Structure 1
Amino acid sequence: MIEAQFSGQQGSFKLNVEFAAPSEGVTALFGPSGCGKTTVLRCVAGLTRLAQGKLVVDGEVWQEGRRFVPVHRRAIGYVFQEASLFPHLSVRENIEFGQKRAKRAKGSRQTIGFDDVVDLLAIAPLFDRPTSRLSGGERQRVAIGRALLSQPRLLLMDEPLSALDRMGREEILPYLEQLHRTLSIPVLYVSHDMREIERLADTLVLMRHGAVRAAGPIADLLSDPSLPLVRMPEPASVLDGTVKEYDPGYGLATIEVPGGTLLVAGDIGPTGSTRRLRIEASDVSLSRHAVKDITILNALPVRIDTVQPIGETQMTVRLKLGEDGSGAPLLSRVSRLSWDRLGFKPGDTVVAQIKAVALART
């Protein structure tokens, strides 16, 4: 477990945050520009020291009271917005620099092998190139490899894709997913792009005006009508599920999620593998009873949990899969007219008709 608490002032900006993050998986910090996301990362790294702070990483105190472990003694890897590679070194030499740093950071352990990182990030073909001849995505892969070979106990990533164009982001995202699946290092990930977070994060820390608005599993926060996330232009739910089977005749995979099963187009993975699904709230309609003779493939019983008006004409409804409402959370965006006509209310068991299901994490 990572326990973080920082408070203080820098110029006119005040920061007062406290949160806990799991010791594995990706914890994303999300919020509007200027809310303090990068400042939190700098505090965790030891680059910024505010008036009050506490940081405990897996039971080891890095900061509390007068105790302050300096940045060069913290076993962290830091990936910035810009790759910040050493221009006078080759790709191989940049990566090997991470191994040299591992010997200086307290608590680092030689657990990530050089060849493993090279294979994981497909860096070997780049070894002999000067860094000036790398694409943006290639530069970030090298920067991530250098950070991993420092043997970090904690990996910090500050908007690592923000300097890339759309093609560059799509190039590197599969590598970040592979890191998530393969390594047990906890990651604190800052981004202003909710699609990135939906794809990568397990835990979400929602920030606003230098404070933590909410923190918890990403599926719960994305579907919470009391939070501003549901007011985004395209609010969505994410569900992690297991591939049960694939029907090649119809080109459909059956995915089991908490509270039901969904059909998804395409051969999206071997039986038993896990996949993350994304369902936009506008693609979920509600009915009192199951509708026959309809082209929509996914129609599941759900229980209405809570509801939040959006303006004067729309309603965002938080649902829980299963007739008893014990399954995964799901969002629906319906008109206020439909809500009133059908007389829906929290606690009702209804049918969710899901028009489209997208694969968020491969």
Structure 2
Amino acid sequence: MATSFFNEKNGDSQLTIYAMGNCHIDTAWLWTYDETKRKCARSWSSTLRLMDSYPKLNFAISQAQQIVWLRENYPQLYERVIEKAKEGRFFGVGGSWVEMDGNLPSGESFVRQLLYGQREFQQVFGRASDTFWLPDTFGYSAQLPQIMEAAGMTRFVTQKMSWSLINKFPHSSFWWEGIDGTKVLAHFPPHHYCAEVTVQECLETAENFRDKGRNNGAMMLYGHGDGGGGPTADILERLDRLANCDGIPKIVTATPTQFFDQLEKDGDSLCLWSGELFLELHNATYTTQADVKKMNRMCEFLLREQEFVQAIRFAQTGEFRSMEAEWKLVLLNQFHDVLPGTSIADVYFDAKNIYRRV
């Protein structure tokens, strides 16, 4: 009976879900940076084992800092990730050093997040990311499309805007226009970024999809997240069984690039949103941990001034000292649960020590 049920196919008009494995690991939150290093190792080693049994499994890594930690602390595991990356099964998304806060860092910090992140992705995956990936950040500055395009990214993914308390965002797929007129293609997966590919989640994806008639595809980011974990065998079994089951959206395994390539075909039908993407939630994060916010800004100014001095020094003597190591420390603390002030006390003990080093 079960086989007969699952073999009933969908019609051509059914919504298509583009499923991709991920493991949203907060670089710090209810745990410290040191624990995150272990979370990455545990989660990605589990994913590697599953890839041996499930050839459809692909997996997105979204933070360059976490890749560097893996290389430094678990070199053998890092080499196995590289092997799968060459097969196209591990791929880099986001292009940023960490999944940073989308409002508080300076414009220069946004640029540095993508400069150093894209360099790392190019080294590890053989290509820079074409998709800006910030599923859990508390709002998005209107200057980001311009910076994204300069970093080689013309696509954008988040899920957080669905958390707004009063005014629900009206689109799932749309063009996002920045303050200078730059437009990027944006998509908000209709379900949470830690999906388990249940029947209910698939139906909710179709129900919550807000651009019916303009487009007929939506992302689903599956795998346990926040604290790590990633995909499981149960999730992958459901992914296979529900791939084309009557009454449930069709499911295909895809990368963000493959999804957006399809979405672009309907680009003329999509609506335009100009300016900031304002999240009606977590607004108190603009005033919590004020000393951390102050130290972040002090370090941003300090590094800018020091690089100005180094540029003069280079012009006069030909010598130059790079500020890259210091910048990466500041960028780390701009993670979206650190700089806004939503992490545990131990995280801020570490963060303040980092600022003092800078």
TM over 0.5, shorter chain: no
Going by fraction, where is strand more abundant, 1 or 2?
1
Going by fraction, where is helix more abundant, 1 or 2?
2
Name the structure, 1 or 2, with higher relative contact order (CA <8 Å, separation 6+).
2
